Amino acid sequence: MQNVATRISSTARRLQARLRGQVGKAIEDYRMIEAGDRVMVCLSGGKDSYTLLDLLLSLQRSAPVDFELLAVNLDQKQPGFPEHVLPRYLAGLGVPFRILEQDTYSVVTRVVPEGKTMCGLCSRLRRGALYTFAAEEGITKIALGHHADDIMETLFLNLFFGGKLKAMPPKLRSDDGSHIVIRPLAYCREREIARYARARQFPIIPCNLCGSQETLQRREIKKLIEQWEAEHPNRVESILAGLKDVVPSHLMDAEIFDFSSLRSGA
C-alpha cells in the first residue's frame, strides 16, 4: 500500500508548512516534547486530531531529538461508529497505534437525563480510560488536538458563565500529578486546520454519533468571536497574545498579587 503521507497536494503542503511552524513554535515555547518522550496522540477521528497526528509525524522525521509517537483511539461503542476507518487509515500511515474499547456510551445514556448534553460525563470517562492506558504503557506525554479557537472559547466561557479568568493551558499536569498533557495545536487557528483537513482528505468521523451537540453557551461564544473577527481582523490573535502577557498587578486576584502590602512613598 502506498504510504498515505506521500500523497499530498501543493495546497496541503503550503498549509502544512504554516501549521507545522506553529506547532513547532508551541512545542519549543512550552517544552512540550523532549528527548526520549513517548507521546500518546489521542485520535478521535475529527479534523483536529488527524491534523495533530499528521504534523507530529512530520516534525518527528526532522526533529533534533528522538521521541516516539503512539496513536490511540478510544472506541466508546457509540451506535454507528465506523470501527474500520481509523485502523485502516493508521495502518496505511505505518504509525504504531492502539484501539481501546470501553462502552462509556451505555453509562452516559443511563446516567444523563434525556435532552441534556452528554459531553461532560463522556469526556470524564474518556479521560479516565486514556489516563489509565497511558500509565500502563509508560506514556510520558498525552497530546490532545485542542487549538487556538478552543482556548479562546474556553477563556470566554469561563469568564462570562463561570466568573473565572481561566483558559486551556498549552501544557498541564493532571490533577493526580501522574500525567503531562500537551496541546501542540495551541497556536493554530481552526479555520486553517479545517482547510488542511479538507486538502488532505482525512477520513473524518462525525462527532455527533451519540446525538449530543455542543452547548448553547459555546455556540454563543463562537458566534461572538466570529462577529469580532468580521469587524476587527486579528482581534483573536491579539487576545491570544494577551494570554501570554499577563499583568497580575492590574487584575483583582489578591491570591496572586499582594495588594494589601502596597504603600505609598519611596
Q: Is the pLDDT of residue 112 over 80?
A: no
> In whole angstroms, what is the distance from residue 17 CA to residue 196 CA?
11
**Mean pLDDT for the stretch of residues 93-116:** 80
Contact 236, 228 (CB under 8 A): yes
Reported as a single tens digit per residue, the pLDDT across 143-153 is: 999 999 999 99
pLDDT, mean of residues 202-209: 80
Count the alpha carbons within 13 Å of 256 in the hemisphere toward its beta carbon. Answer: 9
Q: Are 170 and 182 in contact (CB under 8 A)?
A: yes
Single-letter residue type at 15: L
Residue 213 has pLDDT above 60, yes or no: no
Given a cut of 50, whether residue 35 has pLDDT beyond it is yes
Residue 233: what pLDDT?
A: 87
Confirm if 47 and 202 have CB atoms less than 8 A apart.
yes
Q: Please report where in the chains the cell 526533529 appears, as a residue.
A: 63
How far, CA to CA in Å, does 207 sit from each of 13, 128, 133, 166, 167? 26, 19, 22, 25, 23
What average pLDDT does the segment 147-163 reach?
95
Q: What's the pLDDT band for 1 if we cut at 50, 70, 90?
A: very low
CA–CA dist 243, 137 (Å, integer): 34
Confidence of residue 4 (pLDDT cuts 50, 70, 90): very low
pLDDT of residue 26 exceeding 50: yes
Q: How far from the centroid of its chain's Cα atoms is residue 58's Cα?
A: 18
Question: Which residue in this structure is represented by grid cell 504534523?
Answer: 55
Query: What average pLDDT is seen over the chain?
Result: 89
- Whether residue 249 has pLDDT greater than 90: yes
Q: What is the pLDDT of residues 54-74, one digit of tens each?
A: 999 999 999 999 999 999 998
- What's residue 5's pLDDT? 45
Decide if 119 contacts 159 (C-beta within 8 A): no
Residue 212: what residue type?
A: S
Taking CA atoms, 214 is separated from 120, 148, 153, 180, 221, in Å, by 10, 17, 12, 26, 11
pLDDT range class, residue 210, cuts 50, 70, 90: low
Q: Of 32 and 211, which is predicted with more confidence?
A: 32
Give the pLDDT of residue 152: 95
pLDDT at 41: 98
Domains of the chain: 4-216 (3.40.50.620)
pLDDT band at 7 (very low <50, low <70, confident <90, very high): low
Supply the pLDDT for residue 59.
96
